[in-house]
Amino acid sequence: MPLYDVIVCGCGSAGFCAAIAAARNGMKTAIVEKYATPGGILTVLGNNSIDQFNNPFRKKG
């Protein structure tokens, strides 16, 4: 019997979403990430809002 149903390699924006989707569907999920920044480029660059049309950090006008 396997320890995990899904192993996600990389916890960037796509890997993060894949891991959440797998876990929400009842899969035993593991994430392997090289760096200590889940969210990948969205986290590293300070882009905390995926929804850029409603980004509270974006300059208005």
- pLDDT tens per residue, range 2-60: 899 999 999 888 998 899 999 999 999 999 988 877 877 767 666 555 555 565 666 66
Count of other CB atoms within 10 angstroms of residue 6: 16
End-to-end CA distance of the chain: give it in Å, rounded. 57
pTM of the predicted model over 0.85: no
Q: Cα–Cα distance between 7 and 52 in angstroms, integer? A: 30
